[in-house]
């Protein structure tokens, strides 16, 4: 297609809640999702929580005629859950797994086993190069006591870095997925401000869906109402973000969401509402109202970005302090287990050192204490190693944020100095790594 001719690109995003044997009506819902995608023929379908590869293969077979190109991102113990279906040819794919993703011993949450990540596919869309990203960040289980906030902030930081450093040659950039963050949450502001991505909900001409664009609603029968407290109307945690380039102007013409149960069906597609966006792509030179795409934040957004990065760095420091404390606790407990084990060995050596002496403890109790001390030592060793990796990851993220904050502050001071001299303002900050 000619770049001079406006074209429309239809995007679909849904957290499928596809936990086999645990999610309700899983097989039936995948059939409904397949029917919807086949009927609507979206250009791109970005899916999350497709935890079983069998379900992905089912969708691939169902969509063979409408979406002949697809990719399933594998990661973690049970997979990343990320999948892309496309009407356009996928030329390349890459997965980046986040360095932090919760705790393995929080079995009732299970995020650690999922290997949360961001997947990228490069697609040729009407002669244009589109870099398409699908992601799923760590869930927020408590708004008031969010122990995973530092992890989610680091994930948002790594996500924006990944998008910026892999999208420089793209004509169009699209990011869809379950960010598990409210619109004004720290990680969300970090992603949008640093990358220049726009939110389809706030930048669309037409919206049809749940009030406020919420994607977790009380009317959904799969939703745990306690998770919505204190947001009775629901929360918006699923997004489709986009931006163009110097070559292509991108505008969101319409955005819609599902509204609970599917008409004619007994239940909805998922516990999340699906998003459908229609983007219009035009030649940036011929579009008078086009703001153009940028590789980094604009000069006007620079002060906000400095504050956001500084805030993110402080939150990471809080997480680092917690991780170090948990590592020290594991070390102390492990030392106690080691002392207990050495004491057990000393007691076991008594009959050998004093010939004819009897074992001072009953044999069963002795073996039980020995097994307990060994279990404590092994468990605390694993926890120590795990929390050490957490400390390293948090330290690495904090170091990166420190460098970025310094660079941004320097650019801000240079901009202020140029303004005082009456000279032209310099452009936005250089990206880290340039």
Nearest-angstrom CA–CA distance, 371 and 395: 36
* DSSP letter string, 299-330: GGGHHHHHHHHHHHHHHHHHHHHHHHHHHHHH
**CB-based burial of residue 396 (10 Å sphere; 0-12 exposed, 13-18 middle, 19+ buried)?**
middle
Token look-up 């809080």 returns 318
pLDDT attached to residue 62: 97
Largest Cα separation within the chain, whole Å, is: 100
pLDDT attached to residue 298: 64
Nearest-angstrom CA–CA distance, 187 and 173: 19
pLDDT attached to residue 48: 98
Q: Is 138 a catalytic residue?
A: no
Q: 10-residue block means of pLDDT along the chain (434 residues)?
A: 75 95 93 96 97 96 97 87 97 96 87 90 95 96 88 97 95 97 96 96 94 92 83 93 95 95 92 97 77 58 91 96 96 89 75 59 72 89 95 97 94 76 50 42
* DSSP letter string, 98-149: -S----TT-TTT-HHHH--EEEEEEEEETTEEEEEEEEEPPP-S-SSS-TTH
Give the pLDDT confidence of 383-431 residue by residue, as tens digits. Answer: 999 999 999 999 999 999 999 999 999 988 887 777 666 544 444 444 4
Beta strand spans in 216-375 (E)? 238-243, 248-257, 275-283
Which one of the listed residues 272, 321, 328, 387 is annotated catalytic?
A: 272
Helix (H) / strand (E) containing 208: strand 207-208
Please state the pTM of the whole predicted model.
0.89
- Cβ-based neighbour number of residue 82 at 10 Å: 28
Tokens of 174: 């699209």
Nearest-angstrom CA–CA distance, 210 and 392: 41
288 phi/psi in degrees, rounded to 5:
-70, -30
């Amino acid at each position: 297609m000619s770049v001079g001719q406006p074209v429309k690109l239809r995007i679909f995003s849904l957290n499928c809640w596809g936990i086999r044997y645990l999610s309700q009506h899983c097989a039936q819902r995948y059939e409904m999702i397949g029917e919807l995608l086949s009927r609507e023929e979206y250009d791109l379908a970005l899916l999350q929580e497709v935890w079983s590869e069998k379900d992905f293969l089912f969708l691939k077979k169902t969509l063979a005629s409408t979406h002949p190109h697809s990719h399933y991102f594998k990661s973690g113990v049970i997979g990343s859950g990320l999948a892309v279906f496309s009407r356009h040819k996928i030329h390349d794919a890459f997965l980046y797994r986040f360095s932090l993703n919760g705790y393995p011993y929080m079995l009732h949450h299970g995020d650690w086993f999922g290997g949360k990540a961001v997947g990228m596919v490069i697609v040729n869309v009407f002669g244009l190069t589109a870099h398409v990203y699908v992601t799923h960040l760590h869930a927020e289980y408590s708004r008031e006591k969010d122990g995973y906030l530092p992890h989610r902030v680091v994930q948002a930081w790594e996500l924006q870095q990944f998008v910026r450093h892999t999208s420089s040659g793209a004509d169009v950039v699209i990011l869809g997925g379950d960010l598990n963050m409210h619109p004004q949450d720290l990680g969300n502001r970090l992603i949008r401000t640093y990358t220049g991505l726009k939110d389809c909900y706030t930048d669309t001409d037409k919206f049809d869906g749940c009030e406020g664009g919420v994607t977790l609603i009380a009317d959904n029968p799969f939703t745990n109402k306690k998770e919505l407290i204190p947001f009775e109307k629901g929360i918006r945690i699923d997004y489709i973000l986009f931006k163009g380039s110097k070559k292509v102007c991108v505008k969101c013409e319409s955005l819609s969401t599902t509204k609970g149960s599917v008409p004619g069906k007994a239940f909805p597609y998922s516990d999340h509402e699906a998003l459908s966006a229609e983007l219009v792509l035009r030649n940036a030179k011929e579009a008078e109202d086009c703001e153009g795409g940028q590789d980094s934040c604009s000069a006007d957004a620079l002060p906000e970005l400095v504050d956001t990065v500084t805030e993110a760095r402080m939150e990471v420091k809080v997480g680092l302090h917690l991780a170090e404390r948990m590592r020290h606790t594991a070390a102390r407990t492990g030392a106690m287990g080691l002392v207990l084990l050495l004491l057990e060995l000393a007691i076991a050596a008594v009959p050998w050192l004093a010939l004819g002496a009897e074992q001072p403890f009953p044999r069963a109790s002795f073996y039980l204490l020995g097994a307990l001390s060994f279990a404590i030592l092994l468990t605390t060793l694993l926890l120590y190693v795990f929390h050490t990796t957490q400390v390293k990851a948090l330290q690495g993220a904090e170091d990166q944020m420190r460098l970025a904050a310094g660079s941004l502050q320097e650019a801000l001071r240079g901009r202020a100095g140029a303004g005082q001299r009456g000279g032209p303002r310099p452009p936005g900050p250089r990206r880290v790594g340039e």
